[in-house]
Amino acid sequence: MDCGRFPVVAGVLATLVALQVAGCSAKSTVKPDGAAQSVVDVVSRQTGFHPTDVSCPSGVEAKVGQEFDCHFTGPEGKGYTAHMRITKVEGEQVVFDVKSRPS
């Protein structure tokens, strides 16, 4: 029965460290592809499900407390949102808290 997968994916909460800061402008921003890979890594590790069609916004300032949403396709083709909150920035390393839920 697939019912067990839905609550697990919906309840994903993890902290992830990744190299994903673009520093070419006056303000450092999170790389959308790096944030998307973080979503794939967290959801896959926590649930065993490999999310598809992950998209994250561009132009997100890499600063502690910044929040943004990425979107992905989860089990049974349903849409999910991964809420990302930056908890630490050190050079090019960004630490996220990630929570996913059905969209």
Total structural domains within the chain: 1
Examine residue 5 and state whether it is found in any structural domain, yes or no: no
46-75: average pLDDT: 94
Examine residue 10 and state whether it is found in any structural domain, yes or no: no
Domain that includes residue 79, residue range: 29-102
Examine residue 18 and state whether it is found in any structural domain, yes or no: no
- Cα 12-32-14 angle, rounded to 5 deg: 20
Examine residue 33 and state whether it is found in any structural domain, yes or no: yes
More confident residue, 19 or 99: 99
**Please, which pLDDT band fits residue 10 given cuts at 50, 70 and 90?**
very low
Q: Which long-range contacts (CB under 8 A, 24 or more apart) does 84-88 make?
A: 84/35, 84/38, 84/39, 84/56, 86/30, 86/62, 87/15, 88/64
Examine residue 16 and state whether it is found in any structural domain, yes or no: no
Examine residue 11 and state whether it is found in any structural domain, yes or no: no
Mean pLDDT for all residues in the chain = 79
